[in-house]
């Protein structure tokens, strides 16, 4: 274990490295520390010649809440912002020469959906709520746009980013955002089947396929997108949106009286039940 073992668990057996997001009390929100643990664990799996497949999974009922908003609110520069570090993690996943599978048995928002989009194969249990909710905080999910757009295309991405509307695993499968919506309780079986299918392929061929099908200059795209995300987080609208979330009140642009305030639980997984 490394210094991130409180947030990430790593296990390698039977040619599979399992990297587990293990901060269920924070809905596995992506802090810089958690992102660092994910990157370290992925590098460890890639360097291990016995590992053929990497699986990212989680503890708790939520796969990933997205970026840690409290850490984002405290950030004063790009290097302090989780989104900047997320760009490197997404590039690592896409550029890894070994297949990367995400096994999500709970909901995902924002950056958590970036992890699903960056995976080679993402399995998500039916009934798992998802949304790109950043717009309702006055920020732009630019850092995940390169990997999301690669899966679903710019038109649908624009709609989902603009509205922040919720969707579920079967919809995400139809759109191509994830590989498969898995029936409740069927994740173990489908995960085993996917891993068996992947380990039947030649490892050098799989590395070549990932190079062949990967986006050109992806890491540079992600870094530029992270800088754009930072602009919105550091702008007054973004600061107000994050403050309003932390203070559990509507953002100033909503303009509704207290009696008419909507349920804000969909804005970020830190407020999920």
| pLDDT tens-place string over residues 144-178 | 999 999 999 999 999 999 999 999 999 999 999 99
| pLDDT tens-place string over residues 103-129 | 999 999 999 999 999 999 999 999 999
| pLDDT tens-place string over residues 239-251 | 898 888 888 888 9
Q: pLDDT > 90: what percent of the chain? A: 78
Give all domains of the chain, ordered by start, each with its CATH number. 1-184+205-273 (3.90.226.10)
Q: Where are the beta strands (DSSP E) in 45-145?
A: 53-58, 62-64, 100-104, 107-109, 121-125, 130-131
**Model's pTM, two decimal places?**
0.90
Q: Report how far residue 65's alpha carbon sits from residue 62's, in angstroms, rounded to the nearest whole number.
A: 7
pLDDT band at 72 (very low <50, low <70, confident <90, very high): confident
| pLDDT tens-place string over residues 190-226 | 999 999 999 999 999 999 999 999 999 999 999 999 9
* Residue located via tokens 């596995």: 28
């Amino acid at each position: 274990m490394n210094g991130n073992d409180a947030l990430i668990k790593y296990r390698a057996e039977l040619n599979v490295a399992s990297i587990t997001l293990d901060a269920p009390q924070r809905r596995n929100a992506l802090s810089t520390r958690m992102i660092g643990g994910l990157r370290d664990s992925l590098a460890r799996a890639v360097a291990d010649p016995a590992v053929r497949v990497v699986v990212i999974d989680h503890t708790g009922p939520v796969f990933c809440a997205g970026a840690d908003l409290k850490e984002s609110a405290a950030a004063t520069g790009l290097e302090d912002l989780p989104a900047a570090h997320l760009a490197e993690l997404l590039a690592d996943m896409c550029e890894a020469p070994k297949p990367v599978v995400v096994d999500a048995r709970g909901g995902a928002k924002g950056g958590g959906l970036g992890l699903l989009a960056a995976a080679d194969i993402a399995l998500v249990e039916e009934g798992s709520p998802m949304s790109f909710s950043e717009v309702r905080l006055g920020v732009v999910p630019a850092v995940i746009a390169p990997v999301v757009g690669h899966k679903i295309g710019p038109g649908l991405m624009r709609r989902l980013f603009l509205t922040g509307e919720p969707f579920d695993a079967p919809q995400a499968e139809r759109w191509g955002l994830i590989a498969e919506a898995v029936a409740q309780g069927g994740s173990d079986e489908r995960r085993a089947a996917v891993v068996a299918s992947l380990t039947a392929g030649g490892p050098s061929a799989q590395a070549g396929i990932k190079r062949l099908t990967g986006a050109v200059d992806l890491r540079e795209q992600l870094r530029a997108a992270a800088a754009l995300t930072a602009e919105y987080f550091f702008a007054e609208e973004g600061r107000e949106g994050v403050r309003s979330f932390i203070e559990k009140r509507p953002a100033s642009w909503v303009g509704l009286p207290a009696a008419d305030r909507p349920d804000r639980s969909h804005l970020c997984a830190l407020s999920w039940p």
